[in-house]
Amino acid sequence: MDKGSANPSYREFMRARRPQLYSDTLHVEVGELDRRQFEFHLQSLTSRKEETAFENFARVLAERELCPNLIPQTGPTGGGDSKVDTETYPVAPSIATLWYEGDPASAGQRWGFAVSAKADWKPKVRSDVAKIVATGRSYILIYFISNQAIKDKDRAEMEDALAAEHGVHVRILDRSWIVEKVVRHRRWDIVAETLQFELTRKVVSTPGPLDAGRLR
């Protein structure tokens, strides 16, 4: 063994004896993207023929934000024979209570998901919800995830109209919801993995309890 590596450095020795005198801020290198650039990337998905990649991205994001018990799509695109892009599967309540992310209620309920990158989202959501309901499965909730920017008024009116027509709760999540969740909860790893987007690397510092106390 190298003699130099066998002996601790003076800094390590003093830090072990007097940790309260040293900084405990954690410095981590992370990747992220400018918010406006990310919004444009979502808006221009269809021009790059990345509809399938967006479906995969939406499913993975939903697993983090809504419910982790989603079945990956293995058939043709556009819902395939199942008429949904993904759906929940049953999970034991004892397992669901241990989830750190998502709603444990989905463990015992059947939720259906439809994902679309079409600019004309209104006829698309009507068609997708109608097809999902026509399967006769006991869906409690249907999510429609779109890369379009949808006005709150239009979203609420469409959700109410579909609920009244089909007797099932419908939630429409648009581009603003996607951007908000990715930026606020730092889901850039999902963006890099599923959308194959190159991220800007930067160092993020998180003050530890000692440094936070000093700042106060």
pTM over 0.75: yes
More confident residue, 204 or 24: 24
Q: What is the pLDDT of residues 93-124, one digit of tens each?
A: 888 888 888 888 899 999 999 999 999 999 99
CB 131 within 8 A of CB 79: yes
Question: Residue 75: helix, strand or coil by DSSP?
Answer: coil
> Which ranges constitute the DSSP H helices of the chain?
3-6, 10-17, 35-43, 51-65, 93-96, 121-134, 152-166, 175-184, 188-194, 209-215
Residues linked to residue 30 through DSSP beta bridges, in sequence order: 202
CB 59 within 8 A of CB 73: yes
* Mean local confidence (pLDDT), 59-70: 95
Task: Give the C-alpha separation, 79 to 51, whole Å.
Answer: 12
- 16 confidence band (pLDDT: 50, 70, 90): confident
Average confidence score pLDDT of the chain: 86
More confident residue, 136 or 210: 136
More confident residue, 146 or 4: 146
pLDDT of residue 3 exceeding 60, the answer is: no
Q: What is the pLDDT of residues 134-173, one digit of tens each?
A: 999 999 999 999 999 999 999 999 999 999 999 999 999 9
The predicted structure's pLDDT at residue 82: 66
